[in-house]
């Protein structure tokens, strides 16, 4: 089976699992637990720059992370799909500063004269369809995050936020697929050995 076919099949499988599980249980408790695990490992720092995402159905929520980070004075940025087919990140839109963008995802409104960021983050939180213990990630197939991560500074810590059911023994990857440094789920943290993680995952 070709790599593209394997990935497409995995995406279908994970979407079906998500629908079936969603009919049987609520993910609210697990979402909260995953966010608390994340906050324990990566507490907010005043002035720190973090790239977050606005969760859609079936993804771990980010509301608690957002609230805690903003309260602590951290600077939060959210992605928008730009005309060149890449992601740029813009400041948190506040309570009313959001619009439905491409694919129906919530994106921050762009204030006049504000340019998006594509680098300079201390921490980047990444969604995904599936992850494995090596940080390999299966996205939705559009390549937005892989292109973004490929140009990211090596000093930024990248974190995959997911439910434990999204962890697979192995995620098939191609040369352009970029792994994350750490995967956080409601059950715990899987961390790779990188000096700038500062012991977060130990």
pLDDT at residue 24, rounded to an integer? 41
Q: Which CATH number fits domain 3-197: 3.40.50.10420, 3.90.79.10, 3.40.50.300, 3.20.20.300?
A: 3.40.50.10420
pLDDT tens string for the chain (202 positions)? 555 665 556 556 556 565 555 544 457 899 999 999 999 999 999 999 999 999 987 889 999 999 999 999 999 999 998 888 899 999 998 888 899 887 778 888 887 888 899 999 999 999 999 999 999 999 876 789 999 999 999 899 999 999 999 999 998 878 778 999 999 999 999 976 555 565 555 4
pLDDT at residue 176, rounded to an integer? 79
Look at residue 51 and give its three-state secondary structure.
strand
* Residues 116/90, Cβ–Cβ less than 8 Å: yes
* Domain residue ranges in the chain: 3-197
Phi first, then psi: what are they for 76, rounded to 5°?
-105, 140
Pairing of strands 188-191, 182-185: antiparallel
Q: What is the DSSP string of 75-118?
A: EEEEEEE-TTS-EEEEE--TTT-EEE-GGG-EEE---TTPPPBS
DSSP code of residue 170: -
């Amino acid at each position: 089976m070709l790599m593209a076919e394997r990935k497409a099949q995995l995406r279908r499988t994970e979407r079906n699992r998500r629908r079936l599980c969603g009919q049987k249980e609520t993910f609210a408790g697990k979402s909260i637990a995953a966010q608390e695990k994340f906050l324990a490992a990566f507490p907010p720092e005043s002035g720190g720059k973090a790239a977050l995402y606005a969760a859609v159905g079936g993804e771990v929520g980010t509301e608690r992370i957002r609230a805690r980070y903003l309260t602590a004075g951290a600077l939060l940025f959210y992605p928008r799909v730009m005309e060149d087919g890449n992601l740029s990140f813009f400041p948190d839109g506040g309570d009313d500063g959001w619009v439905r963008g491409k694919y129906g995802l919530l994106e921050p409104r762009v204030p006049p004269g504000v340019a998006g960021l594509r680098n300079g983050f201390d921490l980047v939180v990444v969604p995904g369809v599936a992850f494995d213990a090596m940080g390999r990630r299966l996205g939705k197939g559009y390549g937005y995050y892989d292109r973004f991560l490929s140009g990211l500074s090596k000093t930024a810590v990248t974190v995959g936020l997911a439910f434990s059911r999204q962890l697979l023994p192995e995620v098939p990857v191609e040369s352009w697929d970029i792994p994350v440094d750490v995967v956080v789920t409601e059950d715990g943290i899987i961390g790779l050995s990188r000096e700038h993680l500062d012991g977060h995952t130990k």
